[in-house]
Structure 1
Amino acid sequence: MGEISLLKRSLAELIGTFTLVFLGTGAVVTAALLMDGWIPLLENTFNIGFDISSWLAIGLTFGLAIAVMAYVFGHISGTHINPAVTIALWATKRFPTNDAIAYIVAQLIGAALASFTVYFIWGTRSLDTGLGATAMFDGVTYLQAIVAETVCTFFLMLAVIGVAVDKRAPAGWAGLIIGLTVAISIVAIGNISGGSLNPARTFGPYLADFLLGGQDLWWQFPIYAIGPILGALIAAFLYDYIAGSSAK
Structure 2
Amino acid sequence: MAEISLFKRSIAELIGTYVLVFLGTGSVVTTVLLFQGWTPYPDNNFNVGIDIAAWLTIGMAFAIAIIAMIYAFGHISGTHINPAVSIALWATKRFPASDMVSYIVAQLIGASLASFTIVAILGQRAVGTGLGATAMFSGVNYGQAILCETIATFFLMLTIMGTAVDKRAPAGFAGLAIGLVVAADIIVVGNITGSSLNPARTFGPYLAEFLLGGSNLWWQFPIYIIGPIAGALLAAFLYDYVAQTKQG
**Common fold, TM-score beyond 0.5?**
yes
Query: How far did 1:38 drift?
Result: 2.8
SS at match of 2:131: helix
Q: Following TM superposition, by how much is the alpha carbon of 1:48 offset from its aligned partner in structure 2, in angstroms? A: 2.8
Q: Which residue of 1 aligns with 2:23?
A: 23
Matches within 5 A, 1:73-84: 73-84=73-84
Which blocks of at least 5 consecutive residues in structure 2 are unaligned?
none
Distance of 1:40 and 1:213 partners within structure 2: 18
**Structure 1 contact 35–49 (Cα < 8 Å) conserved:** no
Instruction: Give deviations 1:210-233, integer Å, cap 9, x for gaps.
Output: 011111000000000000000000
Aligned-residue offset at 1:100: 0.4
Query: Partners of 2:156 and 2:107 in 1: how far apart?
Result: 17
How far apart are the structure 1 equivalents of 2:123 and 2:184? 30
Conserved? CA contact 1:62–1:183, under 8 Å: yes
Residues 1:203 and 1:49: Cα distance change in structure 2 (over 3 Å): same
Q: How far does residue 5 in structure 1 lie from its aligned partner after superposition?
A: 0.2
**1:41: Cα distance to partner?**
8.7
Map of 1:159 onto structure 2: 159
Contact 1:46 1:138 in 2 (8 A): no
How many residue pairs were aligned? 244
Q: Distance in 2 between matches of 1:38 and 1:203?
A: 25
Q: Is this contact kept in 2: 1:135–1:220, CA < 8 A?
A: yes
Deviation (angstroms), 1:130 = 1.0
Q: Please list, as runs of the form range in 1=range in 2, the aligned pairs for 1:7-86 lying within 5 A after superposition.
A: 7-39=7-39, 48-86=48-86
Distance 1:187 1:244, change over 3 A: same
Q: Is the 8 A contact 2:41 2:138 kept in 1?
A: no
2-side partners of 1:125 and 1:160: how far apart? 36
Asked whether 1:103 is paired with 2:117, we answer no
Q: Which amino acid is 1:17 matched to?
A: T
Structure 1, gaps ≥5 residues long: none
Query: Whole-Å Cα distance in 1 between the matches of residues 78 and 65 of structure 2?
Result: 15
Q: Deviations over 1:88-112 (max 9, x none)?
A: 0000000000000000000000000
Percent same amino acid at aligned positions?
70
Q: Which amino acid aligns with 2:50?
A: F
Offset, 1:39: 3.9
Assess, with a 3 A threshold, how the Cα gap between structure 1 residues 41 and 161 changes in structure 2: closer, same or farther.
closer
Look up the equivalent residue of 1:100 and give its one-letter code.
M
Contact 2:148-2:189 within 8 A present in 1 as well: yes
Report matched runs for 1:1-248 at 5 Å: 1-39=1-39, 48-244=48-244
TM-score (norm 1): 0.95
